[in-house]
């Protein structure tokens, strides 16, 4: 896919799906803002990879749960290149908690997760909106199958992604025809974050279990999700808005798979 002449912001792009998306956009010719909150070394490594691919890149620290930081991030793209064509809202967080253990989460857990996973994307869209409207831009929100099937790492996470899906549809309606808004809903994706969190042995066990459970018999990768994000950000999807696209190797097709 070609993104020549386009300017893209990818939040939370220091690793995982965000990194893969930023690199695919860069390799397609886009000018890309790589964003991180705390992981500067990792973000600089992504910046170097994008520059090696011949892309024009900015690396900007910003916590997108803060409105002023969102406006700073959008302004950095405008100051550098005068426009914003693509916004990928990828930054997010969770807390692992058994859904049946209602004492495992408190109000602060819900508020913190919601602030980054829902309010953050809203604030980023608002900060970028004048330029997105001017250039008939595209927004892609990185959601989760958790928001569709009410599964995943915790009730708070699933609820936040359900809210993000709802907001995607609402804003697709409200911002048309100038701006398209879509979401991707990945199933399990084997990212470095998962590997660091669980360790190599448990990570392999999870990947093997997921691969056995889903109809397509393979676990997702950051690159496989990034391909769909880039499609929704591209002119190839110019007739698509308000979609929440499942990217889960068919997990949603098997009513038993979500319980394994």
Locus of tokens 């109000």: 107
8 A C-beta contact, residue 39 and residue 14: yes
Nearest to 222 by CA among 22, 16, 45: 16
The neighbouring-strand residues paired with 58 are 33
Residues carrying an active site annotation: 157
Token pair, residue 223, equals 């690159």
The CA distance from 62 to 6, in Å, is 21
Rounded to the nearest 10°, the torsion over CA 116, 228, 193, 53 is -110
8 A C-beta contact, residue 15 and residue 192: yes
25-59 burial: b if 16+ Cβ within 10 Å, else e: bbbbbbbbbbbbbeeeebbebbbebbeeeebebbb
- Angle, in degrees to the nearest 10, between helices 155-175 and 107-114: 30
Q: What is the distance of C-alpha 152 from the center of its chain?
A: 16
Nearest to 6 by CA among 222, 235, 182: 235
Token pair, residue 27, equals 């390799």
């Amino acid at each position: 896919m070609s993104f020549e002449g386009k300017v893209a912001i990818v939040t939370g792009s220091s690793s995982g799906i965000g990194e893969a998306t930023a690199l695919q956009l860069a390799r397609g010719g886009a000018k890309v803002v790589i964003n991180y909150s705390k992981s500067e070394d990792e973000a600089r490594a992504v910046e170097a990879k994008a520059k090696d691919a011949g892309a024009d890149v900015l690396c900007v620290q910003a916590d997108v749960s803060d409105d002023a930081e969102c406006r700073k991030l959008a302004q950095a793209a405008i100051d550098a290149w005068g426009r914003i064509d693509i916004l990928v809202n990828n930054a997010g967080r969770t807390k692992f908690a058994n859904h049946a253990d209602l004492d495992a989460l408190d109000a602060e857990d819900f508020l913190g997760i919601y602030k980054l996973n829902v309010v953050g994307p809203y604030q980023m869209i608002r900060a970028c909106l004048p330029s997105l409207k001017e250039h008939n831009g595209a927004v892609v929100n990185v959601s989760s199958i958790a928001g569709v099937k009410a599964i995943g790492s915790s009730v708070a996470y699933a609820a936040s992604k359900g809210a993000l899906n709802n907001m995607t549809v609402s804003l697709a309606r409200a911002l048309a025809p100038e701006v398209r808004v879509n979401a991707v809903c990945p199933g399990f994706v084997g990212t470095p974050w998962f590997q660091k969190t669980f360790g190599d042995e448990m990570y392999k066990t999870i990947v093997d279990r997921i691969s056995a459970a889903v109809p397509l018999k393979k676990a997702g990768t950051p690159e496989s999700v990034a391909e769909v994000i880039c499609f929704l950000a591209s002119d190839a999807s110019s007739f698509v808005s308000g979609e929440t696209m499942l990217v889960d190797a068919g997990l949603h097709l098997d009513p038993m798979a979500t319980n394994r």
